Structure 1
Amino acid sequence: MRFLFVHQRFPGQFKHIACALADDPRHEVVAVGDVANIKASLTLHPRVTVYGYASPKAGEQQTHVYLREYENHVRRGQQLLRACLRLKEQGFVPDVVAVHPGWGEGLFLGEIFPTARHIHYCEYYYHAEGADLGFDPEFPAGIDSRLHVRLRNATQLLGLSECAAGVSPTRWQRSLYPAEFQSKIRVLHEGIDTSQAKPDPRAFLEVQGKVFRAGDQVITYVARNLEPYRGFHRFVRALPELQARCPTAQFVVVGGDEVSYGARLPAGQSYRETYVAELGERVDWSRVHFLGRLPYRQYLKVLQLSSAHIYLTYPFVLSWSMLEAMACGCLVIGSATPPVQEVITHGENGLLVDFFDTRQLADQVAEVLADPLAFSRLRSRAREYIEQHYDLRTHGIPAWIELLTQHQRQDQGMPRVAVNTGAG
């Protein structure tokens, strides 16, 4: 079979399944992404051929502010269309197309490959209330934001009306989609590689001249970027009490200074610098180690030597890092928000605290550090839970292969239409 994976930052969520399919010589695997983002993926697998499309121009300033994002999606979809037309001219016509449609790449794929079975990765459906928007009173959502977010789903809705099936990584993420489409969406996580993300009692890491080892009092916090959506402000504001309650503990923080989600600060400013300045001398910063982003193996060492791992998030997309932390045997102290509650049961395989309650967070961390043996059962159950429900090789890859290789019904193809690429 022939497979086409499309993601502006390929491989994204398709890394493991693309490689697994490419391991089978019966399959041909091709991927397409934004040329500005795919350099690292060019050597992902010797049998995965990766092509790039030119980064689209930004939308026009005179476009209504609510529509600029959609215009950007159309422009990206058009750039992808041109790249895929070239693929088709070279003789590549996929049997299956798997695409993350969130940035517009799925808009026109059905027109280019009408006989393929199209699978959309349904990561997140935005709501004006009841999810991330307006969750944090520190960042209130005005009427403008509420109206704007209603249009953010337009691109996905067009895709959902035409794709053969969708995939969401968690039940909660699927539940955000309109009820009339949920039967079309399968809950299927891409999987956690528990052969790499695993406990290591011998783990150690040199951090700014100090060597930390498993068994030391090390409190960890990880996010792709240090920002409010992942509760960074709540974590930092808990530091004075955490340090008072845990006087010998060190704090290791992994994450970049960019913004992945939510409001951006003025150019040149970061949330890390903002909240560090806010807390000032109330925190002993010599005990707080900001490591930025780390290579994967070093990042895993941080998790493996963690005494207590703090994971806070808005009601939003669940991070791989939380699942990897559990696979490493971390004692995760997570926010009692829906994506976390789907995985962590308080007192069974982790601990939950109110996202906004810094005192409760400090109390829970202090309790864990005071008697680590009392919580060892939660660590082992955390890993067992990931092995049973999210393991890459026993759950993720087999389920994805079953989904992508099932026989295609002839009547699922969309009618052919003429394509005019126009001027982007």
Structure 2
Amino acid sequence: MRILLIHQNFPGQFKHLAPALVANGHEVRTLTLRQDLPDQWQGVTVHRYRAQRNSSPTVHPWVGDFETKVIRGEACFRAALQLRNQGYQPDLILAHPGWGETLFLQDVWPAAKLAIYCEFYYRSAGSDVDFDPEFQRPQGEEDTACRLQLKNLIYTMQGDRVTAGIAPTHWQADQFPEPLRSKITVVHDGIDTEAIAPNPSATITLNNQLKLGRNDEVITFVNRNLEPYRGYHIFMRSLPEILQQRPKARVILVGGDDVSYGARPPAGTWKQIFLKEVADRLDLSRVHFVGKIPYNAFLSLLQVSSVHVYLTYPFVLSWSLIEAMSCGCAIVASDTAPVREVISDGETGRLVNFFDPAGLAATVSELLASPSARAKLGKKARLFAQNHYDLQRVCLPQQMQWVRSLA
């Protein structure tokens, strides 16, 4: 089968699926905005393209996001035309549509089946937008629903053209409306639970002098960027009580100072805003901001973690949570969707009210005081990750079966 993969930052979510398709004898190509890839990537033929213009500074503010997607869609469309004119005809287009690239592809290849990665469908109620009252839009700004309709146009414009979809969690799939929802199969991207595993001898070194291992009290908190969508503000507000209750504990926060999701702060960074809020009540010598770190260092950090805290709005589930489970971490997580799909309170971790810093502090302190409880939770968390999210035994075979079903 001739398969065309489309991702603006290829391989993205197709990192493992793409070479597996090649190994199964399919002819696999990709269209991508990435310019640093070679002409061949693990057997995949790479076709690069560029956007030909920038967004208009004077466009209606509601339309700015959609205009950007149309610009990318046009660039991908013209690159697809070149491939078609060279005689290329895919049987299946498998794409992440989130940046607009798939908008016009079936006008180039109407006979090709289009399957999409369904990461997130925006809703103005019951999801991320209206979840946290601390960051609600001021009264008089009732245009949120209008803006979200336009963000979702990439899906509503193609709903009747899409053959199938795939989503990593049931909650993410359930955000999509019919008729698209009925076309979505739920399969997680998968993680390598053999490589991402407990290591009793793991250590980490902070500031080139402080060495920590499994016998130390280490609290870990990991985000791509430290921001409200991932509960950074709640975590920081819990720290004064945690550090008071656990005088030997050290807190390590991984994440950048930028914004991945949601609004930017009015000034400065979210990291500094919420650090400043509690700084005078913290022993800052025991709180370590390490920024973004190499992946091997990230795994070592999880392997020495005594308690791993994961908080999130009802939003896309972070891979880091599944990786922490696979490392056997004792996890304290927010009682939010889709976290409840992987963490059962008292079984694979502990769940706490997202908006309760005191409850979070009490639960973390309780686990730090009980090595046996931590070991029990960590063991069950790893087993759950192995049984449901292992890349080679569970997720990749399901992904391959999904592709075969589209043939």
TM band (smaller chain): over 0.9
Kindly provide the amino acid, as one letter, of the partner of residue 211 in structure 1: K
- Once residues 283 and 332 of structure 2 are traced to their aligned partners in structure 1, the CA distance between those partners, rounded to angstroms, is 22
Kindly provide the amino acid, as one letter, of the partner of residue 62 in structure 2: Y
Structure 1 position 149, deviation (Å):
1.6
Kindly provide the amino acid, as one letter, of the partner of residue 233 in structure 2: H
Q: 1:56 to 1:262 in 2, by over 3 A?
A: farther
What TM-score does the superposition give when structure 1 sets the normalisation length?
A: 0.91
Kindly provide the amino acid, as one letter, of the partner of residue 237 in structure 2: R
> Does the Cα contact within 8 Å between 1:97 and 1:117 map onto a contact in 2?
yes
CA RMSD of aligned residues (A): 1.7
Kindly provide the amino acid, as one letter, of the partner of residue 381 in structure 2: A
Give a deviation string over 1:358-392, Cα, whole Å, max 9, x none: 01001001111101112312111111111111111
Structure 1 position 135, deviation (Å):
0.7
> Does the Cα contact within 8 Å between 1:120 and 1:159 map onto a contact in 2?
no
What is the aligned partner in structure 1 of residue 258 from structure 2?
Answer: 258
What is the aligned partner in structure 2 of residue 54 from structure 1?
Answer: 50
What is the aligned partner in structure 2 of residue 415 from structure 1?
Answer: none
- Once residues 124 and 179 of structure 1 are traced to their aligned partners in structure 2, the CA distance between those partners, rounded to angstroms, is 14
- Once residues 322 and 239 of structure 1 are traced to their aligned partners in structure 2, the CA distance between those partners, rounded to angstroms, is 20
> Does the Cα contact within 8 Å between 1:254 and 1:292 map onto a contact in 2?
yes
Give a deviation string over 1:89-144, Cα, whole Å, max 9, x none: 33432221111111111101111222222111111111111000021111013412
What is the aligned partner in structure 1 of residue 61 from structure 2?
Answer: 65
Q: Does 1:125 align with 2:121?
A: yes
Structure 1 position 279, deviation (Å):
2.1
Q: Does 1:100 align with 2:99?
A: no
Kindly provide the amino acid, as one letter, of the partner of residue 252 in structure 1: I
- Once residues 111 and 149 of structure 2 are traced to their aligned partners in structure 1, the CA distance between those partners, rounded to angstroms, is 32
Q: Does 1:85 align with 2:61?
A: no
What does 1:346-357 align with in structure 2 at a 5 Å threshold?
Answer: 346-357=345-356
Give the percent of matched residue pairs that are identical in Structure 1 and Structure 2: 44
- Once residues 187 and 311 of structure 2 are traced to their aligned partners in structure 1, the CA distance between those partners, rounded to angstroms, is 23
Q: 1:50 to 1:153 in 2, by over 3 A?
A: same
Select between 368-377 and 164-173 the one with higher mean Cα deviation.
368-377
What is the aligned partner in structure 2 of residue 183 from structure 1?
Answer: 182
What is the aligned partner in structure 2 of residue 242 from structure 1?
Answer: 242
> Does the Cα contact within 8 Å between 2:204 and 2:213 map onto a contact in 1?
yes
Give a deviation string over 1:31-80, Cα, whole Å, max 9, x none: 22223xx53x5499431222322145332233221111111111110011
Kindly provide the amino acid, as one letter, of the partner of residue 287 in structure 2: V
- Once residues 213 and 6 of structure 1 are traced to their aligned partners in structure 2, the CA distance between those partners, rounded to angstroms, is 42
> Does the Cα contact within 8 Å between 2:225 and 2:258 map onto a contact in 1?
yes
Give a deviation string over 1:277-325, Cα, whole Å, max 9, x none: 2222221221111111122111111111100000000000011010111
Select between 142-151 and 324-333 the one with higher mean Cα deviation.
142-151
Q: Does 1:325 align with 2:324?
A: yes
Kindly provide the amino acid, as one letter, of the partner of residue 265 in structure 1: P
Can you give the 5+ residue segments of structure 1 that lack an aligned partner in the other structure? 409-424
> Does the Cα contact within 8 Å between 1:310 and 1:333 map onto a contact in 2?
yes
Structure 1 position 179, deviation (Å):
3.4
> Does the Cα contact within 8 Å between 1:22 and 1:45 map onto a contact in 2?
no
- Once residues 31 and 100 of structure 1 are traced to their aligned partners in structure 2, the CA distance between those partners, rounded to angstroms, is 12
Structure 1 position 19, deviation (Å):
1.8
What is the aligned partner in structure 1 of residue 71 from structure 2?
Answer: 75
- Once residues 379 and 158 of structure 2 are traced to their aligned partners in structure 1, the CA distance between those partners, rounded to angstroms, is 41
1:220 alignment partner, SS class:
strand
Kindly provide the amino acid, as one letter, of the partner of residue 378 in structure 1: L
- Once residues 333 and 339 of structure 1 are traced to their aligned partners in structure 2, the CA distance between those partners, rounded to angstroms, is 14
